Amino acid sequence: MSGMKTVLSLLFLALAVAPAPLRAQTDDSQLRLFASCAGRLSAVMEYQWMFDGVASERTELQRASVLQLVEATMPDGMGREVLHWRLSAKLAQSALLTRATFNDDQSDAAWAAQMADRLTRECTALILS
């Protein structure tokens, strides 16, 4: 029975310590969302430069709004990590857009286009127009 008390005591201690890291992770998830959206919108804007210049201007404004959200929520010392999130999302979005545009497999191209569009809409939904 004393083994069970030890296990329960350790479990209680672990739970007592857990909320701080969980709270930090939740705060980072909002910042990560904003940073990822900034990266995605950068990729969309660059894609639109090639195919739809007028739309790129609207996307540039949306991207600027999301970057303001990033700046408003980013604590000191997170710059490198935020830049990594932005670049990773930009590369992923760019890959989807390339896959949608230059793909011989029509069903895969359609899937990539739908996914790129869905991710873009999720990001633009964060912005009050």
CB atoms within 10 A of CB 6: 10
Task: Compute the distance between CA of residue 28 and CA of residue 51 in angstroms, rounded to an integer.
Answer: 34
Q: What does pLDDT average to over the chain? A: 86
Most confident option among 14-18, 23-27, 88-92: 88-92
CB 42 within 8 A of CB 85: no
pLDDT in tens, 29-64: 999 999 999 999 999 999 999 999 899 999 999 999
Q: What is the DSSP letter of 102?
A: S
**39 within 8 A of 86, measured Cβ to Cβ:** yes
Q: Which residue has the higher pLDDT, 6 or 128?
A: 128
Q: Identify the weakest region by mean pLDDT among 22-36, 90-104, 115-129.
A: 22-36
Which residue type, as a one-letter code, is found at position 43?
Answer: A
Is the distance from CB of 48 to CB of 99 less than 8 angstroms? no
Lowest mean pLDDT, pick from 8-17, 55-64, 116-125? 8-17
